[in-house]
Chain A
């Protein structure tokens, strides 16, 4: 998890409330990603960013939005949380052109009740 911090680590929220998860990196990497991980589905890409204010949708983007106003911070927002968004959320960074895959944060466990 070197260089990536996710906050909060755990959160319980009520259906219909907005929730923002934060990913902070200290390594100045251009590419950042948000994934969710659910049993039987593996990791699925929600949104990704390829630079400040440059973002794009992933496989499961419905109900989520992102923002990246600084290189080091990538925010994931659930505008109106639903029970189907109960999951573990991981942020990742990649070093373009390097043989290192992605580096992941420790995750945020979100429960929507």
Chain B
């Protein structure tokens, strides 16, 4: 069965303190790995799609990387406005998208 595990569950950082979020997955026939950002009371907002091991994508202070078993979301010099829950999801060959439980990031000024 396809599985997605995110760690840590929660992460507290000081402004400017870089760190990484992890998404481990097992899936039959990966079609894509997705990262989303979710603010309280809102729906998830799409950030990145990664398709193959070795691929990297960047957006402002965020960089997503992918290996055959996991993906990392690196946050460089975070700001308080980066505080949110970050969700990882994998799309398998049957097109189903399976989500992890998320990492709740808090960035203190």
Contacts and interface: CB of A to CB of B under 8 A. Distances in A.
Contact of B44 (A41, A100, A104): A104
Interface string A71-113: 0000000000000000000101000000111111111000000
Contact of B99 (A42, A100, A103, A105): A42
B101 A42 contact: yes
Contacts of A103: 46
Interface in B51-99: 87, 89, 96-97, 99
A108 to B, nearest CB: 10
Interface residues of A, number: 20
Nearest to B42: A106
A43 B99 contact: yes
Interface of B: 4, 34, 36, 41-46, 49, 87, 89, 96-97, 99-102
Contacts of A52: none
Given A43-B87, A44-B99, A58-B96, 11 more contacts: A1-B43, A42-B87, A42-B99, A42-B100, A42-B101, A99-B49, A100-B46, A100-B49, A103-B46, A104-B43, A106-B42
Contact of A104 (B41, B45, B49, B96): B45
Given A42-B87, A43-B87, A45-B96, A105 B101 contact: no
A107 B87 contact: no
B44 A43 contact: yes
Contact of A102 (B42, B46, B102): B46
Contact of A107 (B43, B99, B100): B43
Most buried by B among A40, A44, A101, A103: A101
Nearest to B57: A99
A102 B99 contact: no
Contacts of A58: 96
A51 to B, nearest CB: 14
Given A101-B36, A104-B43, A106-B43, A41 B101 contact: yes
